[in-house]
Structure 1
Amino acid sequence: MLPASYLIIAQSGRALAASATRGNYPIHVMDCFADMDTCAEALSVEQVPFTDHCFDKDFLTNAIKKRCLEQPGMQLVPGSGFERKPALLRTLSDLAPCIGNPADVVHKVKDPDCFFGLLDELGIPHPLTTTRYRNTGHNWLCKMTGGMGGDHIVRLDKNKALPGSRVYFQQCIEGESCSALFLADGKRAQVLGFSKLWHADDFIETPFKYGGAISLAAPAEAFNKWMSDVINKLVVTTGLKGLCGLDYVLDRQQQVNVIEINPRPPATFELHERGRSLFSAHIQACHGELPEQNPAHDDHVHAYIILYARQTLYIPAQMKWPSWTSDRPRPGRKISFAEPVCTITASGQEQAKIKKLLYDRRLVVEAELLRWQDAA
């Protein structure tokens, strides 16, 4: 018997909400934006505070308690935003059934000592990583444990103060940042697709800020098998379930260096959602049911970039959003410098042409937004 409804809880819930709607699931959303697209997909949307890469525990738990009283039988579907404080998942599971990876599994893959120690045990390549600071020069990065979006990553510099507590240090590997999307049932996994990740190129202070992604063609059979073996080893060892992502860097010698696992539906899953609802696949996998085969593929390349504000912006009521935008903010909202404005999408046959089209489209949206700022 299906639950009365599902409550998606994520930093941004729009993509999961759209996928759930595609699968005819009744869903509600709590996220940090409550944008127009999310409101169009969900039965209800509530905006919740999110600071220092995590949710406000008291606010979130009180909001969920209230919603569960209003919607008996509701089940929770956590998305992004719990990696920094996995214990919050344990709190939520006391309020209602949670569909996804529990706190102990998230801890295994997000705690640097646990995760990179596990990679060593399994013989999986990764950059040199430590939780103890070493003055090793500029080829090292400092990362926040459980951080999201890349803006927490800084290059080590002996002349700069270190970030706050709960950080780790990792050798910087030059190469292409990529991600493998997979579906797991706790015992085995299916690789659904690969993506190249882009950094936002406008913010000097945060050079690793997440900027978008583009789907990649199916890799050579040998690479696909190797990656599938790696992911299956990790799933068997950790018990990962549902729709997840493994991020890696492909270095100049075409060697894979595993960077992290996202133990929840990653931002890139939309690029590979063809022929079915991956929200539905996520729910089924979390209940131990993997589909018999991968979703249908097409011959197109799909991509998106995130438009970040390069100055404080106010969203005008007169703004006409093109059909190739999503995550569109509500009229009247104030967006501060470096905050996300919307997502810009494109599809086609050639990567280079698609990337140019994305940046051309970005200029169109920016020009329209700036025109209304000037008018105000």
Structure 2
Amino acid sequence: MQPPEPSKRPDPQPNQAVKPRKQTIVMVGASIRAAAQSAQRAGYLVHGMDLFGDQDTRQACSHFTDLNDRDAIQAWMSEQDSNQPIVQVGGVSRIAERLGGAADRLRPSLTRQAMVAAPANLKRWAESAGLHYPETVDVGDPRVADAGGRWLTKSQDSSGGLGVRWFGPTDPDATAPGLLQSPSVQRWIPGRSMGATFMLGSRGAKLLGVCRSFHQSMVIGGLRYPFVYAGSAGPFPCPSWIADRLVQMGNRIADATGLVGLCNLDFVLDRQGRTWLLEANPRWSGSSELIEHPSIQHVDRSQGNHSQDEADSGFGNLRSVGGSLANQASPTRCPSLLIASLSGDDWPSSTELPGHGFGIKRVVFARATFRFRRDRVHRLLDPHTRIADVPPDGSVIAKGMPVCTLIWHGGFRHGSSDMAVRPTVGEEPCRTFDRTFAAVRRSTGSDCKPTPA
């Protein structure tokens, strides 16, 4: 482990820590459901914008705007306080174009997001933190033709793996040069995909937890995207030698950018045990709700026999962990990771909570074009699995498109540090979830073709 460097962290900039005014928060992302529920649990009114408008997303928002409807966005924005920050809780393609002049209110700012996304910065920070960074070269570099490796093209203006495609003249799913949105390509690193969640603050980066990431191949407009986000599992205990380097990486980002709040690092563990940084996103991520849940679970256990439904909906006599969370003023509010991150408050890491919880979330993709029926899915759920990201009943979902998300929460003891998909949570609960997931996915098959409207 390298000795810590003297802090070079810039002075906090105005609006870096965004404490929503008058208990209202404006947020935007491809899918804001989990972040909106987190803010709602803390008692905030959510004005949300995303691309899907799922039922549970709309239920968590006091006002919702379809991010595909630019006229509605501009009309709604014109009626709002022009100084109200817009919290980005997920990547969105062409976000500046979608929001127009309101894009200047994004937090983190687009300028700081670009700093964190720049390959040159990531490479420098990763190597100084003891991490590896994949070889990244110009498209015309002779090394791209190297038969010993495969290459990826990545769009900086995308999220959830929808900007990542194979690149190479001999690859059947390669990206044609004319379709490239990036002048560079990156060598593919095989291994186990992981995500580390941090809280960045004035005292440096705090590792909150590490989760496993799942991916799914998806075809859109005739183009194949092999690494579309399909879920997460965790948090897992992380070996100290990996955690130390990840924390150093988080500190590099905080020192260089002055960012505070949530930050997620995507990385790969290869067969040789090396840790490869892929990208960093200074915002709420797909695994954030799994990182958040152990604190809700811990508070629920410590305060009495409240049901999980009560915890998820914000009811019950729930208090903040250790009195350190952003919403501690009200005994009827659950801990909210999102509000803690915006308010500059502390949040316990998963290892600070005894018997901390392990969760699995998996995105269900349609096996065939079909008409969604919520009651059909509910009949297939086991008692410990819930459905999220629920489309409107009767929606026609095209083959290969995401349908909904299944989420399961359990618990496991400390001591397991292999970050496998199945820790010491016990095989039977995981098998039960797997059976439920398989049954729900089968229900999206050819036996569920759309019925006439």
The answer, yes or no, to whether TM exceeds 0.5 is yes
What is the CA-CA distance between 1:374 and the residue it aligns to? 6.7
Q: Which moved more, 1:364-373 or 1:190-199?
A: 364-373
Deviates more, 1:247-256 or 1:349-358: 349-358
Alpha carbons of structure 1 residues 301 and 64: separation in structure 2 relative to 1, 3 Å? same
- Partner-residue secondary structure (3-state), 2:80: helix
* Corresponding residue to 1:277 among 336, 341, 357: 336
Partners in 1 of 2:163 and 2:49 — Cα distance? 24
Q: What is the match of residue 332 of structure 1?
A: 394
Change (3 A) 1:90 1:180: farther
Structure 1 residues 178-257: aligned runs within 5 Å? 178-185=194-201, 188-200=204-216, 205-257=224-276
Q: State the AA in 1 paired with 2:157.
A: G
**2:162 aligned with 1:143, yes or no?**
no
Structure 2 unaligned regions, length at least 5: 1-18, 297-334, 413-420
Counterpart position of 2:182: 166
Give how far 1:310 is off.
2.3
Q: Cα 1:118–1:272, aligned 2, differ >3 Å: closer, same or farther?
A: closer
Q: Please tell me whether the aligned partners of residues 368 and 398 of structure 2 are also in contact (alpha carbons under 8 angstroms).
A: yes
Q: Which amino acid aligns with 2:336?
A: S
Deviation at 1:277, TM superposition (A): 0.7
- Aligned-residue Cα RMSD (Å) equals 3.1
CA gap of 1:14–1:374, structure 2 versus 1, over 3 A, is closer
Structure 1's 222 and 120: CA in aligned 2 closer, same or farther, altered over 3 A?
A: closer
Cα 1:118–1:228, aligned 2, differ >3 Å: closer, same or farther? Answer: closer
Instruction: Quote the residue 1:39 is aligned against.
Output: 58
Q: How does 1:1-376 map to 2 (within 5 A)?
A: 3-4=21-22, 5-49=24-68, 58-59=70-71, 62-68=74-80, 74-82=84-92, 91-92=101-102, 94=104, 98=106, 100-119=107-126, 124-134=131-141, 135-137=145-147, 138-159=149-170, 160=174, 161-162=176-177, 163-185=179-201, 188-200=204-216, 205-273=224-292, 274-275=295-296, 276-284=335-343, 289-291=344-346, 293-294=348-349, 297=353, 298-316=355-373, 319-321=376-378, 322=381, 324-348=386-410, 351-352=421-422, 353=427, 356-370=431-445, 372-373=448-449
Tell me which moved more, 113-122 or 322-331. 113-122
Q: Which moved further from structure 2: 334-343 or 136-145? A: 136-145
Superposition deviation, residue 348 in structure 1: 3.3
Normalised by the length of structure 1, the TM-score is: 0.84
Tell which deviates more after alignment, 330-339 or 262-271.
330-339
Q: Give the distance between the partners of 1:180 and 1:223, measured in 2 at CA.
A: 11
How many Å separate the matches in 2 of 1:358 and 1:325? 12
C-alpha displacement at 1:375, in angstroms?
Answer: 6.0
Please state whether the residue corresponding to 2:214 is helix, strand or coil: strand
**In the alignment, residue 163 of structure 2 is paired with which amino acid?**
H
Q: Cα offset for 1:131? A: 3.6
Amino acid at match of 1:177: S
Whether the 8 Å contact between 1:89 and 1:103 is mirrored in structure 2 is no
In the aligned structure 1, how far is the partner of 2:357 from the partner of 2:119? 36
Cα distance, 1:167 vs. partner? 4.9
Aligned residues: 360
Q: Secondary structure at the match of 1:260?
A: strand
Q: Distance in 1 between matches of 2:94 and 2:119?
A: 12
1:77 is displaced (CA, Å) by 1.6
1:47 Cα offset (Å): 1.7
In structure 1, how many angstroms separate the alpha carbons of the residues matched to 2:85 and 2:162? Answer: 32
Q: Could you tell me how far apart the structure 2 residues matched to 1:22 and 1:218 are?
A: 27
Query: SS in structure 2 opposite 1:361?
Result: helix
Partner of 1:363, secondary structure, is helix
CA distance in 1, matches of 2:127, 2:238: 25
Q: 1:82 to 1:369 in 2, by over 3 A?
A: closer
